[in-house]
């Protein structure tokens, strides 16, 4: 009977899961992979030409989540829970033709854990938050037991093995209050991670060595054995497309700029700012006297894409800003070809929301970062990027997240002009080279992948 590895992801983490699938396929073309998700076929176009990867689109749930479930993060867990009967049917169908050697699930797909276990399928989690993030999730049940008050009211530092100290206010807000359903989802996921057959991590050994060491020594799972953990992210992005995206107008503009002279500001598909914050950002960029490429989206309440191209920048940004900065700035409406921009030799820094994929892309191109976290676990990721990986500088912000023009100007100048900024730049370049080495034959990511494949029955 043919064998296969099945990977199951929510649309939210599908791109990251596809990255791991392609890395497995590159080194093990003889191992068929099946990807399950509710995402459209167009979302997996990048694997269409890879013969060892098949995509199975799961049908949508027949009944929507209860009306009280409105928080997006809770929905990320609830929809897979409702999807379980459909998933069970899909796994049983696959099992008729192939022996499932491993079932790898995105942590939002935690409700699927009991389904696969009921079928006696070896089940692995995929941690898309990196090594430090995995330490925090594995240790979460211990925090639950030892901190009697809610983390949201705990005014202090959380001491987590393998991680820099984390302020309680920087811990993901979804995990602050134990009476909430989201808290219970994360706690259950953390417990199941400990019970799983293993965990795949989107990282490489040299980027987060303290985290890897703590995990290997079982420090994150007191009184129990940590399942095998594999740091296998290839880090090296796919080569740039030659048809269309590299002809984007902003890339032509970058061609005219000096090497490592441009600050790139881009905040992901959910990176929305108030009109007041956008104006403050513009003032900071104007005052910093450095070149910049800035992807601007409509403030909350304004029309979303596809009407974004009609966005009136003159009405949103300070009067005369575009004219005054036209010789050293380029402002985009909403979308930017991020990977192609980061790979351009003119880009010298990246102001980012600290999303894990953006962080890895920036490291892979040797571009140092300035951290501006917005939601989810990004405040915690900022701690890891600044104090753990040491590839970024921290922006100081008010309790409500507001950043002043003076603070933005200060950090851009620090990154582009100071000895500290130069040190971070050199550190990021070192991690770029380490990531490249990890993905080559004999490198840590390839070796860890071999260990994962070798452990499958």
List pLDDT tens digits, range 235-249.
776 645 444 455 799
Average pLDDT, the chain: 93
Spatial contact of 124 and 113, defined as CB atoms under 8 Å apart: no
Catalytic residues: 13, 106
3-state secondary structure of 164: coil
Q: Where residue 62 falls among pLDDT bands split at 50, 70, 90?
A: confident
Q: Strand pairing partners for 264?
A: 293, 350
Residue count of the chain: 457
Q: Where residue 132 falls among pLDDT bands split at 50, 70, 90?
A: very high
Spatial contact of 205 and 212, defined as CB atoms under 8 Å apart: yes
pLDDT per residue over 144-189, tens digit each? 999 989 999 999 999 999 999 999 999 999 999 999 999 999 999 9
- What's the distance, Cα to Cα, between the start and end of the chain in Å? 14
Q: Where residue 303 falls among pLDDT bands split at 50, 70, 90?
A: low
- Distance between CA atoms of residues 438 and 433, nearest Å: 9
Q: Where residue 307 falls among pLDDT bands split at 50, 70, 90?
A: very low
C-beta atoms surrounding 190 within 10 Å: 24
Q: Where residue 102 falls among pLDDT bands split at 50, 70, 90?
A: very high
| CA dihedral sign of residues 180, 186, 187, 192 | positive
- What's the CA dihedral at 226, 230, 233, 234 to 10 degrees? 160
Burial 395-416 (b: 16+ CB within 10 A, else e): bebeeeeebbbebbbbbbebbb
CA 291 → CA 160, 320, 324, 407, 425, distances in Å? Answer: 39, 17, 12, 17, 17
Q: Which residue has the tokens 């980012």?
A: 352
What percentage of the chain carries pLDDT values higher than 70? 95
Q: Where residue 309 falls among pLDDT bands split at 50, 70, 90?
A: low
What percentage of the chain carries pLDDT values higher than 90? 87
C-alpha closest to that of 339 among 54, 46, 39: 46
> Which domains does the chain carry?
2-234+440-455 (3.40.50.2000), 245-435 (3.40.50.2000)
**pLDDT of 265 above 70:** yes
Q: Where residue 302 falls among pLDDT bands split at 50, 70, 90?
A: low
Gyration radius from the chain CA atoms: 22
Q: Where residue 300 falls among pLDDT bands split at 50, 70, 90?
A: confident
- Distance between CA atoms of residues 239 and 451, nearest Å: 27
E-strand ranges in 152-283 read 157-158, 166-167, 198-201, 229-231, 262-265
- H or E element at residue 79: helix 72-97
Q: Lowest mean pLDDT of 165-169, 268-272, 308-312, 387-391, name the range.
A: 308-312
For strands 157-158 and 291-296, give the pairing: unpaired
């Amino acid at each position: 009977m043919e064998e296969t590895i099945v990977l199951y992801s929510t649309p939210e983490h599908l791109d990251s899961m596809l990255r791991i699938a392609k890395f497995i396929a590159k080194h093990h073309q003889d191992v068929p992979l099946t990807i399950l998700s509710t995402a459209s076929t167009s979302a997996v176009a990048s694997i269409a030409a890879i013969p060892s990867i098949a995509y199975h689109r799961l049908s949508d749930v027949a009944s929507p989540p209860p009306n009280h479930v409105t928080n997006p993060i809770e929905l990320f867990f609830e929809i897979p829970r409702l999807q379980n009967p459909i998933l069970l049917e899909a796994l049983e169908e696959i099992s008729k033709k192939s022996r499932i050697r491993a079932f790898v699930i995105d942590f939002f797909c935690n409700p699927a854990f009991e389904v696969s276990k009921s079928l006696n399928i070896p089940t692995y989690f995929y941690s898309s938050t990196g090594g430090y993030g995995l330490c925090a999730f594995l240790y979460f049940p211990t925090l639950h037991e030892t901190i009697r008050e809610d983390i949201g009211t705990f005014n202090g530092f959380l001491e987590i093995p393998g991680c820099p100290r984390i302020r309680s206010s920087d811990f993901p807000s979804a995990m602050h209050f134990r009476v909430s359903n989201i808290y219970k989802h994360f706690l259950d996921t953390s417990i199941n991670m400990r019970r799983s057959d293993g965990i795949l991590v989107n990282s490489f050994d040299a980027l987060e060595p303290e985290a890897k060491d703590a995990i290997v020594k079982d420090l994150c799972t007191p009184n129990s054995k940590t399942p095998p953990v594999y740091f296998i992210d290839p880090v090296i992005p796919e080569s740039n497309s030659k048809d269309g995206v590299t002809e984007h107008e902003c890339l032509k503009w970058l061609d005219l700029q000096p090497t490592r002279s441009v600050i790139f500001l881009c905040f992901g598909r959910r990176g929305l700012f108030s009109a007041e914050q956008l104006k403050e950002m513009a003032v900071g960029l104007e005052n910093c006297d450095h070149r910049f490429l800035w992807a601007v989206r409509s403030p909350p309440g304004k029309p979303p894409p596809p009407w974004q191209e009609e966005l009136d920048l003159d009405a949103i940004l300070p009067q005369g800003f575009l004219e005054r900065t036209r010789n050293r700035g380029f402002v985009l409406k909403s979308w930017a070809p991020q990977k192609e921009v980061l790979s351009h030799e003119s880009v010298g820094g990246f102001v980012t929301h600290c999303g894990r994929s953006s962080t890895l892309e920036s490291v892979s191109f040797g571009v140092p970062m300035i951290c501006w976290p917005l939601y989810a676990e990004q405040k915690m990721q900022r701690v890891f990027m600044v104090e753990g990986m040491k590839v970024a500088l921290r922006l100081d912000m008010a309790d409500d997240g507001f950043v002043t023009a003076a603070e933005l100007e200060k950090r851009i100048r620090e990154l582009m002009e100071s000895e500290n900024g130069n040190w971070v730049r050199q550190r990021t370049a070192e991690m770029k080279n380490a990531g490249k080495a990890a993905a080559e034959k004999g490198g840590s990511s390839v070796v860890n992948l071999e260990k994962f494949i070798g452990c499958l029955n």
